[in-house]
Chain A
Amino acid sequence: MFKRIAFTVNGKAYNFEVDVRESLLDVLRSHLGFTGAKQGCGVGECGACSVLIDGVPYDTCIYLAVWADGKDIKTIEGVAEKNGELSDVQKAFVEEGAVQCGFCTPGLVLTTTALKESGKDYTREELKRELSGHLCRCTGYQSILKAAEKSLEGHVCTCVDSPHYKGK
């Protein structure tokens, strides 16, 4: 069974028939060549397949392709500037050495990008929570957290009695 859907990836419009059995990850990787989204666990636990859909991170391995109808999708291929210059988030990941094998990196950069674009303030604990849907088996997370903090410079709240901690 096929369904026609229309959506954009990194600003480019697509309109074609997808097999209803396919995940968005299948479509992004196999049909459109956006292999920056990785197939990891396949069950929504590791976050390697995460992309931004209307600015919000989702695991695409458990997101049916038909659900992408009308959506605006951003993959890691669409994060850098048009001239090839890395985004601030990407630069922070490079500078902090937050990349080892690189399998989790696209997802983490995208989620961090979403946090940055939200314009909100985050405590360190909240940042950890927001990044908790991405498994990294190399780094021990410290350098990733540093990179996220660097990306969000000016929006990281460090006071202990911050209202963030009380969830207000």
Chain B
Amino acid sequence: MYDIKGYYDAETVSEATALLADNPNMKLIAGGTDVLIKMHGGQLEDAELLSLRKIKSLESISVAEDGTIVIGAMATFSMIFHNPMLKDLIPILTEAAISMGGPQIRNIATIGGNVCNGATSADSASSLFALNAHLKLQDKNGERVVPIREFYLGPGKVALNPGEILTEILIAPEDYKGFGGQYIKFAMREAMDIATLGVAVVCKVQSGNFDEVRIGLGVAGPTPLRCLEAEEYAKGKKITSETLAEIGKLAVKSAKARTSWRASKEYREHLVEELTQRALKIAVVNAGGAEVV
């Protein structure tokens, strides 16, 4: 049996924020694939759970009139992978979704839970970083929107204030329209594995030059991160294998890889340099550019 002291179901977001405001010690639970595992391992005791599972409005996936993609925090990885619109507009997120866990886990694990769990290995994170996603956080008194880069504070630490709930993940049209992308999860197995490295890139191409590049990495540091130096370098550069090689080298400079039992620091840095280039090669083609030979 799980070490659960109390369990409450909220039916609406406002009910959830009101309950959370009155009981700041409550632990939010979505799909439970992280929270219940922590309880099983004894890392979370005497939990008072506030479940968001009955709030169906948080499962919706849509595109707003201005082109902003709005993904409800309670959308599961299966919902994301099987959503034809997301597959069409931001395939680097649907590919990340299908790479996570196995089918039974994807059927229940949510993207909001994945983000709020604060793991650098979150399979959605590198894609959400590359897509410059913004997060809508709501509490009893209102809501605020924060860029995902400011949300991850450290391993398992995110910028949710007491009383706040992540409700939506937003991707603005200027961040995905006209971009081509690619996601690579590097792991030892094809399923049920935690990434050794996650790489997501998007780029915009104009007459053989990079117009804009964004690179998101997971497990390359204590939090997911962007490779800003490499991105800045790429701007306006001719798309050649030399440019890609330099981008790969600069990407390593942004990484803060460490040695873990999964891989050594040096191996991870090698992966960053190599996989960033491989992902970009495909992203260039997806963005309508010519293949780099």
Q: Say if A and B assemble together.
A: yes
Q: A residues near B, CB below 8 A?
A: 1, 3, 19-23, 26, 42-45, 47, 50, 56-59, 62-64, 66-67, 111, 128-135, 167-168
Q: Which of A20, A47, A64, A129 contacts B104 (CB 8 A)?
A: A47
- Range of interface residues on B (Cβ < 8 Å): 20 to 34
Q: Which residue of A lies closest to B1 (CB)?
A: A21
CA distance A53 to B91 in the complex (A): 28
Q: Which residue of B lies closest to A66 (CB)?
A: B7
CA distance A1 to B49 in the complex (A): 12
Q: Which of A19, A62, A67, A135 contacts B53 (CB 8 A)?
A: A67
Q: Chain A residues with Cβ under 8 A from B103's Cβ? A: 57, 111, 129-133
Q: Chain B residues with Cβ under 8 A from A47's Cβ? A: 102, 104
B191 touches A (CB below 8 Å): yes
Q: Which of B2, B51, B87, B104 contacts A50 (CB 8 A)?
A: B104
Contact between chains at B4 and A44 (CB < 8 Å): no
Contact between chains at A133 and B4 (CB < 8 Å): no
B223 touches A (CB below 8 Å): no
Q: Which residue of B lies closest to A114 (CB)?
A: B103
Contact between chains at B1 and A26 (CB < 8 Å): yes
Q: Chain B residues with Cβ under 8 A from A57's Cβ? A: 103-104, 107
Q: Chain B residues with Cβ under 8 A from A67's Cβ? A: 51, 53
Contact between chains at B2 and A58 (CB < 8 Å): no
Contact between chains at A62 and B36 (CB < 8 Å): yes
Given the contacts A132-B190, A132-B192, A64 and B2 also touching, CB distance less than 8 Å: yes
Q: B residues near A, CB below 8 A?
A: 1-7, 9, 32-33, 36-37, 40-41, 49, 51, 53, 87, 91, 94-95, 98, 101-105, 107-108, 190-192
Q: Which residue of A lies closest to B81 (CB)?
A: A167
CA distance A39 to B170 in the complex (A): 39
Q: Chain B residues with Cβ under 8 A from A167's Cβ? A: 87, 91, 94-95, 98
Most A CB contacts (10 A, CB to CB) among B101, B103, B108 go to B103
Rounded to whole Å, the gap between the CB of A46 and the closest CB of chain B is 9
CA distance A111 to B107 in the complex (A): 12
Contact between chains at B33 and A62 (CB < 8 Å): yes
CA distance A57 to B107 in the complex (A): 8
Q: Which of B2, B37, B94 contacts A21 (CB 8 A)?
A: B2
Rounded to whole Å, the gap between the CB of B79 and the closest CB of chain A is 11
Given the contacts A57-B107, A58-B108, A133-B191, A64 and B6 also touching, CB distance less than 8 Å: no
Q: Which residue of A lies closest to B95 (CB)?
A: A167
Given the contacts A62-B36, A67-B53, A21 and B104 also touching, CB distance less than 8 Å: no
Q: Can you name 18 extra interface pairs (CB under 8 A) apart from A20-B4, A44-B37?
A: A3-B7, A21-B1, A22-B1, A23-B36, A44-B33, A44-B104, A45-B102, A45-B192, A58-B107, A59-B105, A63-B32, A64-B36, A129-B98, A129-B103, A129-B190, A133-B102, A134-B102, A167-B87
Q: Chain B residues with Cβ under 8 A from A168's Cβ? A: 87
Q: Which residue of A lies closest to B189 (CB)?
A: A132
CA distance A62 to B1 in the complex (A): 11
Q: Chain B residues with Cβ under 8 A from A45's Cβ? A: 102, 192
Contact between chains at B87 and A21 (CB < 8 Å): no
CA distance A131 to B37 in the complex (A): 22
Q: Chain B residues with Cβ under 8 A from A111's Cβ? A: 103-104
Most B CB contacts (10 A, CB to CB) among A57, A58, A64 go to A64
Q: Chain A residues with Cβ under 8 A from B192's Cβ? A: 45, 132-133, 135
Contact between chains at A132 and B32 (CB < 8 Å): no
Q: Chain B residues with Cβ under 8 A from A56's Cβ? A: 107
CA distance A23 to B104 in the complex (A): 15
Rounded to whole Å, the gap between the CB of B156 and the closest CB of chain A is 17
Rounded to whole Å, the gap between the CB of A25 and the closest CB of chain B is 11
Q: Chain A residues with Cβ under 8 A from B101's Cβ? A: 44, 133
Q: Chain B residues with Cβ under 8 A from A3's Cβ? A: 7
Rounded to whole Å, the gap between the CB of B113 and the closest CB of chain A is 12
CA distance A45 to B95 in the complex (A): 21
CA distance A113 to B6 in the complex (A): 36
